Amino acid sequence: MPQAAKTFVKLVDGLNYGVGRFAMYLLFVLMAILMWSSISKTFFNPSLWTLEMAQFVMVAYYILGGPYAMQMGSHVRMDLFYAKQSPVRQAWWDGFTVFALIFYLCVMLWGAIDSTAYAFQYNERSPTAWRPYMWPIKVTLCIGFFLMLLQALSSLIKDIATIRGEEV
């Protein structure tokens, strides 16, 4: 395996590991928002921002945690025949299916970039009573899709190395 490929895998895996570990703590932020929502509805005037903010934090948790889950092999997969195959055969299947994932992620990233540009151009705001700006969550989506695309490429390189009998 070329040194550039090994360096790419090491950098992408390290970056996504760090971002994923950060994203894990967003669950506590989400819990705090939902707890405040419950408290404010019970004892005070309900807060306008809690539902939408909880949705934004959940999107960030999910999107930024996706590459980490892919790196750790935590995504759901159909193991009916896959688990019984050799690691080289599994790498062939993973290498084949990652092309569909890369295509999907490219389309999603393209749409996310277009939507983010729209949000910046027209100062897009949510149509709710709170009316937050939409660009922060759309930028988060772009970052998440880009990191997932990088992780898919890293996985492809690892699969090629496995097929060739090399270490990355």
Q: What is the pLDDT of residues 111-123, one digit of tens each?
A: 999 999 999 999 9
| 30 C-beta neighbours (distance < 10 Å), count | 18
| pLDDT per position as a tens digit, 30-76 | 999 999 999 999 998 888 899 999 999 999 999 999 999 999 988 87
Question: Encoding tokens for residue 26?
Answer: 């967003």
Q: State how many domains the chain has.
A: 1
Please state, in angstroms and as integers, the Cα–Cα distance from residue 166 to each residue in 58, 84, 109, 157, following that order: 38, 22, 31, 11
| Mean pLDDT, rounded, for 102-116 | 98
pLDDT top residue among 1 and 7? 7
DSSP H helices, 122-166, are 135-164
Q: Which two tokens stand for residue 89?
A: 């055969």
- Domain limits for position 143: 3-164
What is the rounded CA–CA span in Å between residue 159 and residue 35? 43
Q: Does residue 20 contact residue 68 with C-beta atoms inside 8 Å?
A: yes
Predicted model pTM: 0.92
**Strand, helix or coil at 125?**
strand
* Chain-centre distance for alpha carbon 92: 24
